């Protein structure tokens, strides 16, 4: 008998007293919890996102759609970045005003090569206001997962309000489980030493989020 | 992890030393009180916490009821997405499977994301015996590994170490395992974290095999979820060519939508944040989807039983399998705060450990037979549990089983347990009490005798009762029993008599 059969057999015997309760999944769970918390306007939700991102130590910037290239150029210059890894599908115009060396996100790039890069710039899939979270789904304008992991500085562009939702339930509705997803809420941190929270272990130690108004 | 918990003494003995270790107690007191307050604040922000908690409980209960169906569905969806599923009935089998899988890659090193399941089965030791080095990358697990120690908490396994001790461990041991600690390393948490970052980075960048656990597995889609703070999870899940995940069978949730409950309750209960820094979700491998070259080419999922089906068979005890490993119960427990995690003799300490370890491992050993008694039954754990596990209920249920024996399931077989040793006096006392309570004349006579002889009562009980009275004051016996007083004074009306 395979272990698979052994384990499944044990499960069936163990649950013999309760398995035939006839309650289908749809009615088994009381979903009276909230779809979102609070009652806000779209602008209020974007405000909440900015607050919560800042609370967990992301650096937050806001700008109008046509000011994005200049804003990004300013951030890169302030950081002193020379090399920037860029997802294949990132909007070309975004880095048009930045005088940096662009490194394409390639299948064959090694982790060591990424380690030498100064900054990574990406878009995002969705941002969650209640928790201050941005979610990446490896789409062409966000790139492979490792490019936002190895470099020390990540600039993420969020289009507001179209990419902003209030809550976790709403975010899950927008995301595709078949894609690899990375939920980011601030730079990396640990509380392992005396439960004292310290930022910056592995993963980018500086996370900058640019909230750019949707193109009207 | 280089120590094991085999052969640990009963909890009171194990705790005795810990209770007198003032450094440990200081560390624990500070840490648990801080996180307790933060957790309360994080939970208070969420007005529907009670509804979320109830939904979490119901999702888990429904899943456990139909666990075979969801396991089969999960296997199908993971396989369809390019993953390979293995089934491990016990720890030995899981270790064999993982060792073989690593050997097949030809590698002799693996990097590990923190996984309680791999601690439970002693994976690192098993790999070491086969000549494979497993490097822990979670900061606390790194501290435990370098210090040749054992974990003492589910979420922050090195909570029993203060910063000075951690600095000493890094300075002494890092050089043996890889890049040494920097010169002049101080004990500020920021510098310690930086030392860990540098030490581990070279391992991440060259590792070919990663080993992880998972917080959740979604049956409908085959998606696995890892919730973390440091980024070592992301490193181990995306950089290596081969990923092996060892996950307990109870970690399944039916549908994608179900994550919306746990992603709200887990971060707030564990690290007391609105959301933890990094959560990774992946399904199988990236074969055939856009942007290949992203993450492991080969993904193995090892489903682990190791006593979970035995736990599932117990009508009262099975609720322990709802656990999402947040550790809120540990942080609120007065016993854990004073005894620390090592006294529980298991990778799962604290209140959840007291009900899970004796069910996963059986109640045969000294330590497991004593764990359900490592509690004052205050119930604080139940109040904070995000999936509403009634821990006191299970503790009392397990105490019954230990004191009186009875039916249980071990390794998939129904057995009848004999009453445990060391409870004979308790059973005799209970029998005597039952007799006395059903014979009012004898009870009245006994009470009168006790009143008349009260000046001669000892402060401690003799023989087996000595341990019981050693930590309790015996009640003072009054001059007359309540019933006698009531009769004498006609219901308290005639107090001059």
pLDDT digits (tens, 9 = 90+) for B102-131: 999 999 999 999 899 999 999 999 999 999
Residue A178, pLDDT above cutoff 60: yes
Decide which of B395 and B194 is more confident.
B395
The residues in A 161-180 lying below 8 A from B, measured between CB atoms, are 168-169, 172, 177-180
Helices (H), A21-103: 25-28, 42-55, 68-79
For residue B215, the chain A residues in CB contact (below 8 A) are none
- How is B395-424 classified by DSSP, letter by letter? HHHHHHHHHH-EEEEETTEEEEEPPPTT-H
Contact criterion met (CB < 8 Å) for B279 and A182? yes
Q: A149: how many CB neighbours lie within 10 A of its CB?
A: 25
Contacts of A29 in chain B (CB under 8 A): 55, 58-59, 62, 258
H or E element: which one contains B371? Answer: none
Q: How far apart are alpha carbons A60 and B168 in whole angstroms?
A: 38
pLDDT of residue B368: 93
CA A107 remoteness from chain centre? 21
- Alpha-carbon distance of B404 to B236, in angstroms, equals 47
Q: What pLDDT band is residue B287 in, cutting at 50, 70 and 90?
A: low
**pLDDT tens by residue, B359-369:** 999 998 989 99
Q: Which residue among A19, A168, A185 sits closest to B264, beta carbon to beta carbon?
A: A168
- The runs of H, that is alpha helices, within B414-475 are 424-437, 440-452, 465-470
Q: What part of A 52-111 touches B (C-beta under 8 Å)?
A: 52, 56, 106-108, 111
Of B388, B380, B389, nearest to B32 by C-alpha is B380
Q: Please tell me the least confidently modeled range out of A119-123, B40-44, B195-199, B300-304.
A: B195-199
User: What would the mean pLDDT of B174-194 be, rounded to a whole number?
Assistant: 91
Residue of A nearest to B51 (CA): A33
The whole-angstrom separation of Cα B277 and Cα A133 is 8
Reading the block at residue B271, the tokens are 């690290």
Residues on chain B touching A181 (C-beta within 8 angstroms): 279-282
- For residue range B373-410, what is the model confidence (pLDDT) as tens digits? 999 999 999 999 999 999 999 999 999 999 999 999 99
Radius of gyration of chain A (CA): 21
Chain B residue with minimum CA distance to A178:
B283
In chain B, whose CA is at the least distance from the CA of A173?
B257
Chain B residues near residue A178 by CB distance under 8 angstroms? 81, 221, 283, 289
Residue in B417, B321, B399 with CA at minimum distance from that of residue B65: B321
ipTM value, please give it: 0.95
- Residues of B whose CB is below 8 A from A203: 230-231, 234-235, 277-278
Q: Does the structure show a pLDDT above 90 at B235? A: yes
pLDDT recorded at residue B291: 45
> Rounded to whole angstroms, how far apart are CA atoms A212 and B84?
42
CA–CA separation, A157 vs A138, rounded Å?
14
CB contact under 8 A, A195 and B156: yes
pLDDT of B4 higher than 70: no
Cβ-based neighbour number of residue B125 at 10 Å: 14
Contacts of B273 in chain A (CB under 8 A): 56, 185
CB of A116 within 8 Å of a chain B CB? The answer is no
**Degrees (nearest 5) of the Cα angle B444, B470, B355?**
95
pTM for this prediction: 0.92
> Is the pLDDT confidence value at B497 over 70?
no
pLDDT of A35-68, one tens digit each? 999 999 999 999 999 999 999 889 999 999 999 9
User: Region A135-145: what's the mean pLDDT?
Assistant: 95
Q: Which helix (H) or strand (E) holds B148?
A: none
């Amino acid at each position: 008998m395979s272990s698979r059969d052994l384990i499944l057999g044990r499960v069936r015997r163990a649950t013999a007293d309760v398995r035939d309760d006839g309650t289908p999944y749809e009615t088994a769970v009381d979903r009276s919890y909230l779809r979102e918390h609070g009652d806000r306007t779209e602008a209020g939700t974007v405000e909440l996102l900015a607050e919560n991102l800042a609370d967990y130590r992301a650096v937050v910037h806001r700008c109008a759609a046509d000011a994005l290239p200049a804003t990004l150029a300013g951030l890169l210059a302030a950081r002193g970045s020379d090399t920037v890894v860029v997802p294949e599908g990132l909007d070309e115009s975004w880095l048009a005003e930045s005088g940096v060396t662009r490194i394409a996100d390639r299948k064959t790039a090694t982790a060591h090569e990424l380690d030498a890069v100064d900054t990574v710039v990406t878009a995002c899939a969705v941002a969650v206001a209640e928790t201050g979270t941005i979610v990446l789904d490896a789409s062409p304008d966000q790139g492979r997962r490792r490019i936002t992991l190895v470099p020390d500085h990540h600039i993420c562009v969020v289009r507001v309000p179209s990419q902003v939702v209030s809550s976790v339930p709403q975010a899950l509705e927008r995301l595709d489980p078949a894609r690899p997803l990375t939920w980011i809420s601030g730079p990396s941190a640990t509380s392992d030493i005396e439960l004292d929270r310290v930022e910056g272990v592995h993963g980018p130690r500086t996370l900058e989020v640019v909230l750019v108004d949707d193109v009207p | 992890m280089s120590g094991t918990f085999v052969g640990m003494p009963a909890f009171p003995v194990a705790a005795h030393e810990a209770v007198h270790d003032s450094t440990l107690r200081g560390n624990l007191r500070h840490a648990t009180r801080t996180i307790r307050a933060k957790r309360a604040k994080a939970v208070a922000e969420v007005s529907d916490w009670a509804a979320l908690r109830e939904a979490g409980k119901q999702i888990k209960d429904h899943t456990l009821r139909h666990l075979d169906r969801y396991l089969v569905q999960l296997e199908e969806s993971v396989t369809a997405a390019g993953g390979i599923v293995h089934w491990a009935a016990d720890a030995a089998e899981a270790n064999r499977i993982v060792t073989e899988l690593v050997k097949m890659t030809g590698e002799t090193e693996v990097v590990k994301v923190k996984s309680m399941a791999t601690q439970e089965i002693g994976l690192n030791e098993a790999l070491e015996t086969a000549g494979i080095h497993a490097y822990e990358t979670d900061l606390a697990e790194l501290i435990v590994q370098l210090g040749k120690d054992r974990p003492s908490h589910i979420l922050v396994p090195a909570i029993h170490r203060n910063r000075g001790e951690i600095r000493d461990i890094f300075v002494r041991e890092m050089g043996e395992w890889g890049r040494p600690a920097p010169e002049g390393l101080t004990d500020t948490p920021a510098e310690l974290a930086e030392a860990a970052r540098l030490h581990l980075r070279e391992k991440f960048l060259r590792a070919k095999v990663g080993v992880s656990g998972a917080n959740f597995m979604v049956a409908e889609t085959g998606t696995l979820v890892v919730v973390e703070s440091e980024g070592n999870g992301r490193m181990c899940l995306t950089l290596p060519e081969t990923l092996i995940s060892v996950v307990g069978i109870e970690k399944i949730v039916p549908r994608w939508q179900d994550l919306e409950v746990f992603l709200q309750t887990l971060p707030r209960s564990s690290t007391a944040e609105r959301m933890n820094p990094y959560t990774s979700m992946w399904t199988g491998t990236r074969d055939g989807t856009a942007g290949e070259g992203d993450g492991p080419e080969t993904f193995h999922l090892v489903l682990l039983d190791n006593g979970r089906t035995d736990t599932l068979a117990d009508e009262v005890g099975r609720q322990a399998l709802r656990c999402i490993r947040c550790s809120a119960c540990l942080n609120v427990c007065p016993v854990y705060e004073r005894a620390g995690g090592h006294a529980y003799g298991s990778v799962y300490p604290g209140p959840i450990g007291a009900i899970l370890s004796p069910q996963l491992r059986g109640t045969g050993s000294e330590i497991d037979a004593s764990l359900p008694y490592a509690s004052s039954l205050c119930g604080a754990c139940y109040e904070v549990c995000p999936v509403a596990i009634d821990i006191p209920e299970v503790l009392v249920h397990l105490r019954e089983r230990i004191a009186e024996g009875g039916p249980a399931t071990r390794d998939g077989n129904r057995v009848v347990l004999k009453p445990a040793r060391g409870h004979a006096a308790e059973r005799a006392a209970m029998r005597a009490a039952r007799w006395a309570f059903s014979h009012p004349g004898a009870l009245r006579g006994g009470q009168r005798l006790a009143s008349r002889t009260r000046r001669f009562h000892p402060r401690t009980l003799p023989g087996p009762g000595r341990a019981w009275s050693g930590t309790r004051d015996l009640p003072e016996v009054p001059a007359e029993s309540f019933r006698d007083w009531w009769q004498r004074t006609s219901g308290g009306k005639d107090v001059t008599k």
